[in-house]
Amino acid sequence: MQDFINVILPIPIEKLFTYKVTEEEAKLLKPGMRVAVPFGKSKIYTALVFEIHNTPPTVYEAKQIDQILEDHPVVTQVQLKFWHWLAQYYMCSLGEVFRAAVPSALLLESETLILRNDRADLEENDLLDDEFMVFEALQHQSILRVQEISDILDKKNIIPVLNRLLKKNIIFLKEEMYEQYKPKLVRYVQLGKSHRSEENLEALLNGMTRAPKQSQVVLTLFQLQAVTKKPVKVSDLENASNSSSAIIKTLIDKGILEEQFVQTDRVVYEGGDETETLKSLNDFQKEALKDIKGSFKDNKVVLLHGVTSSGKTEVYVKLIEEYVNQGKQALYLLPEIALTTQLISRLQAYFGEKVAVYHSKYNVQERVEVWNNVLENKPVAQIVIGARSALFLPFNDLGLVIVDEEHESSFKQYDPAPRYHARDAAIVLGNLHGSDILLGSATPSVESFYNVKVGKYGYAHIERRYGNVLMPDMELVDIKEQSRKKRMKGHFSERLLEEITETLDNGEQVILFQNRRGYAPIMECTTCGHAPQCPNCDVSLTYHQHRKQLRCHYCSYHIALQETCQACGNATLDTKGFGTEQVEQELNTLFPKANVGRMDLDTTRGKHGYEKIITSFEQQEIDILVGTQMLTKGLDFRNVNLVGIMNADSLLNFPDFRAHERSFQLLTQVAGRAGRTKKRGKVIIQSYNPNHRILQQVTTNDYLEMFQEQIYERQQYKYPPINRIIKITFKHKDYNKLNEAAEWFAKSLRNSFGGNVLGPEYPPVARIRNQYIKNVIVKIGENYSLVKTKNSIKRIEKSFNAISYYRGVRVIYNVDHI
Ligand code: ADP
Ligand code: ZN
């Protein structure tokens, strides 16, 4: 009997592929192990074994696999089930999930580009012959294709060699380019080996009587090391012994001290063996914890609804402790942007090295390390804190899943597939593991709160800020009125200016929020009305003053700022609207003595850009911080007493059925940064339309009213959570073809779903990177089956794909979150 395996290939094809294996291989193989397989004419992929069987494929002749890549599964059975659910629910292929789920180092394939690692340490690595040949080739040529390496080694399957080189840190993969930053090295010292015992130390000190400064250093170091026996940071030693780096250098040269460099920019735990004890919860927190546990007993997902600064994090920590004490794993999921060192340090202070961090800014080695630690259920990764990709780790005893800031829209992955929502997927993952699941937010999503209302979720509530700090005092300022009376200075109302002045006078800090980066979103000629557009996208170019450029925020297009209008030639260009850069500039004029900082995509590029700004704001080197929505996410600053919203209207007018909900959340979250310690904070919201329901609800902190009005609207217009929704996006560079294709698809959908199909319609930006875009929306009523609907849509797509004229038109599905 012949043996076969079905594998998942990391490419967007619907079906699993079948390969032949020998009898011995079949005995070794288990689902979840990786194999290298040939595909197409000359490609080699890393594939994942899905099942082992004896049925040959009917349509094609199965090829033999090239090689088995390991002796144990790297992907668990539960993960495979989870992937299967993701592919079904979010309408993509298992291969696309595979590609997104595992670190790229586990996914080598023939098209991967290989680069040399200039920091490779050869001395530490003995290279085998084939490894050395690759290493040498990379000295002459910094980038090689897998095919080229294959030629050099005269071997078909070189994936095992590359795997070994990756492990030894000799090479990088192309995707990892951006991580070739120079790590910051910190110098540590310890007593030289021969001086460590007490007698030897005494002899040493006796011989140093004529160098009192040096012996002072040695004595201090001995003291510092007495407890930990670990090397000491040179800067700490300098401070403690009151000496200079020159003296320490002399001691190192003499061999009395040994130096050692430690790389610090991985978020590794740096503390000693000691951890802080957990804070004891106040009565509100205790009550919430009790409610949470009560609902866990009923096997319900629980929503923790606690106002900003109510101490939700401390409640999570208490829970995590209980699961960890039982030896279980805990996953703490956050939106990428809220994953700050602030929070990581807080968790590490409690749980020490049990905390592992996992997100996309980590390099491939670090990610593989965490992956393996989780797979083996090691104590060093018992608590994983991560962004949405942490869902894909190979947990095997997951006891608790926490999704913090569960309302955050950035939990949704838009590109590439799988286009999943991490909160919703986390609930499925938790259920597969039988874990307890907690969602937390100060401003819950309408979906989650609805699930509480209908009894599906449990609920816990904290209405007070920790330490009885008052919720900030909110004030709406009508800038229409102010502009009419010519009372605005730039984009600042008198009220906002007064409050900023007072706050700065008190030595406190200010946060200003404007949800647009750059100087101005539009540059327009006041004579002819012409506004420079992006040639690739249907948008105006944004003016960036600092770089004197006009930039497209959808593609990378940019041009130098023009002095005169390109249409009429007049030097009458003016800006319309405003972004963070303009606010910053106005502040520099209005408050010349204040230090103004800016936090947006432009100032936080690079691995640590974001951290740097947060740290200098924390250390009060910045008095006023201007920023986009990056400011909203779970940051805990002690000295901020004023938050100003420059213009609330642009948020409210966004064309999306969730725009009002989002505005409420965003504004409440930003406001929540004010007055987190004793003194009551102040929030000023500037708007042209201060009577807007949402603004009223934000200022009175009336979540319930917001929820009821939003639910009513969603019911009226058939949107989630009461109805389901699928958005189908069509993209093509040919305008006519796109229109016809979208029309054909929509018509077919109407045959099945009638009036529940909307569109095709252009989105607000109808062309991006030269691709025209049209959307069709399918609404699925309460009593219809989501699965059946998706199957019908997939069937229509099959017929669609069979029409050769439409070939090349991309069809993209987004489910629930569009
Ligand atoms: P949230 O996550 O709800 O915004 P945090 O957990 O950040 O709130 O708590 C706000 C502040 O109050 C933090 O500085 C935190 O250390 C402090 N805090 C919360 N609970 C306690 C407690 N039980 N004992 C002492 N301090 C607490
Ligand atoms: Zn563009």
Predicted local confidence at residue 265, as pLDDT:
40
Q: Looking at the domain assignment, is residue 303 inside a domain? A: yes
Mean predicted confidence (pLDDT) in 647-674? 89
Q: In this structure, what DSSP letter does residue 412 have?
A: B
Q: Residue length, the chain? A: 818
What's 573-601 look like in SS3? EEEECCCHHHHHHHHHHHCCCCCEEEECC
Spatial separation of the C-alpha atoms in residues 468 and 692, rounded to whole Å: 30
Report pLDDT for 174: 63
State the DSSP H helix or E strand holding residue 6, giving kind and residue range, or none if neither.
strand 3-8
Clarify whether residues 318 and 244 are in a common domain.
Answer: no
630 and 589 inside one domain: yes
32 contacts: CB under 8 Å, gap ≥ 6? 48, 49, 73, 74, 75, 76, 77, 79, 80
707 and 798 Cβ atoms separated by less than 8 Å: no
Check if 311 has its Cβ closer than 6 Å to any atom of ligand 1: yes
Residues 614, 697, single domain; the answer is yes
Is the CB of residue 789 below 6 angstroms from any atom belonging to ligand 1?
Answer: no
Is there a domain that residue 496 lies in? Answer: yes
Domain that holds residue 168: 110-178
- Ligand 1 atom 21, closest CA: 311
**Residue 358 to residue 549: CA distance in whole angstroms:** 36
Q: Give the pLDDT of residue 508.
A: 93
**Residue 64 within a domain:** no
Q: Is 340 in the pocket of ligand 1 (CB under 6 A)?
A: no
Render pLDDT for 352-367 as a digit per residue (tens, 0 to 9): 889 998 887 676 667 8
DSSP structural state of residue 695: H
- pTM above 0.85? no
Tell me how crowded residue 605 is: count the other CB atoms within 10 A of its CB: 8
Q: What is the pLDDT of residue 182?
A: 35
DSSP symbols for 507-542:
T-EEEEE-S--SSBSEEEETTT----B-SSSSSBPE
Work out how many domains the chain is built from and give that number: 6
Residue of 277, 313, 463 to mutate, ligand 1, most atoms within 8 A of C-beta: 313
The residues, any chain, with a CB within 8 Å of residue 569's CB and separated by 6 or more, are none
Q: Which of 344, 459, 433, 449 is nearest to 78 (CA)?
A: 433
User: 594 and 688 in one domain?
Assistant: yes
CB count in 10 Å sphere of residue 10: 22
Q: Are strands 757-761 and 771-780 parallel, antiparallel or unpaired?
A: antiparallel
3-class secondary-structure state, position 336: helix
Using the mean position of ligand 1's atoms as its centre, give its distance from the Cα of residue 537 in Å: 45
Mean pLDDT of 771-786: 92
510 CB contacts (<8 Å, ≥6 apart)?
500, 503, 504, 623, 624, 625, 640, 641, 642, 643, 644
> Which one, of 563, 564, 566, lies nearest residue 533 by Cα?
566
- Residue that terminates a domain, selected from 132, 154, 178: 178
pLDDT in tens, 624-642: 999 998 877 657 788 899 9
**More confidently predicted of 49 and 241:** 49
By the 10 Å C-beta count (0-12 exposed, 13-18 middle, 19+ buried), 105 is classed as buried
Atom number, ligand 1, closest to the C-alpha of residue 313: 6
* Residue 611, helix vs strand vs coil: helix
Report pLDDT for 267: 41
pLDDT tens-digit map of 428-458: 999 999 999 999 999 999 999 999 999 999 9
Strand duo 398-404 + 355-358: pairing: unpaired
pLDDT band at 169 (very low <50, low <70, confident <90, very high): confident
Cα separation, 533 vs 739, whole angstroms: 23
Pocket test for ligand 1, best of 309, 345, 406 (most atoms within 8 A of CB): 309
Q: Is residue 650 part of a domain?
A: yes
Q: Quote the tokens at residue 745.
A: 């698809």
271 dihedral zone (left: phi>0; alpha: psi -120 to 50; beta):
beta
Phi first, then psi, for residue 35 (nearest 5°) are: -135, 150
- Tell me what the pLDDT averaged over the chain comes to: 87
- The rounded distance, in Å, linking the Cα atoms of 720 and 169 is 48
Residue 449 lies in a domain: yes
Does a structural domain hold residue 31? Answer: no
Query: Which of 137, 155, 178 corresponds to the end of one domain?
Result: 178
Residue 619, number of CB atoms within 10 A of its CB: 8
Q: Is the pLDDT of residue 164 over 90?
A: no
Supply the residue whose CA is at minimum distance from atom 14 of ligand 1: 636
574/416 Cα distance (integer angstroms): 38
Name which of 445, 495, 443 is nearest 471 in CA terms: 443
Which amino acid is present at 768?
I
279 lines ligand 1 (CB under 6 A): yes
Note the pLDDT tens digit of each residue in 230-266. 788 888 888 888 888 788 888 888 888 888 776 544 4
Which bound ligand lies closest to the C-alpha atom of 769?
2
Determine which residue's CA is closest to atom 23 belonging to ligand 1. Answer: 281
Ligand 1 and 675: CB distance under 6 A: no
**Proximal ligand: closest to the CA of 638:** 1
Q: Is the CB of 68 under 6 A from ligand 1?
A: no
Ligand 1 contact via 440 beta carbon (within 6 Å)? no
In a domain, 567, yes or no: yes
Confidence of residue 527 (pLDDT cuts 50, 70, 90): confident
Contact 598, 626 (CB under 8 A): yes
For residue 347, the CA-to-ligand 2 centroid distance in Å is 41
Same domain, 551 and 447: no
Is the same domain home to 573 and 697? no
519 has a pLDDT exceeding 70: yes
Closest ligand to 311 CA?
A: 1
Is the same domain home to 391 and 535? Answer: no
Both 404 and 307 in one domain: the answer is: yes
pLDDT in tens, 676-729: 777 889 999 999 999 999 999 999 999 999 999 999 999 998 899 989 999 999
In a domain, 808, yes or no: yes
| DSSP 3-state of 677 | coil
771 lines ligand 1 (CB under 6 A): no
CATH of the domain at 488: 3.40.50.300
Residues 192 and 300 reside in one and the same domain: no
CATH classification of the domain holding 122: 1.10.10
Q: Ligand 2 center to residue 40 CA distance, Å?
A: 35
619 shares a domain with 498: yes
Ligand that lies nearest to the alpha carbon of residue 536, given by its number in the listed order: 2
Confidence category of residue 118, pLDDT binned at 50, 70, 90? confident
Tokens of 180: 């070739």
**Each residue of 377-389: pLDDT tens digit?**
888 899 999 999 9
Neighbours of 458 (CB within 10 A): 23
Strand partners, 306: 462
Please report, rounded to a whole number, the percentage of residues in the chain having pLDDT higher than 90. Answer: 49
Confidence of residue 180 (pLDDT cuts 50, 70, 90): very low
Of 156, 178, 200, at which residue does a domain stop? 178
Which stretch of DSSP H or E encloses residue 497? helix 494-505
* Residue 245 and residue 317 in one domain: no
Q: How far apart are CA 220 and CA 211, in angstroms?
A: 14
Q: Is 346 in the pocket of ligand 1 (CB under 6 A)?
A: no
Range in 136-150, 345-359, 422-436, 641-655 with the lowest mean pLDDT: 136-150
Looking at the structure, tell me whether residues 329 and 460 fall in a common domain: yes
| Residue 92 annotated in ligand binding | no
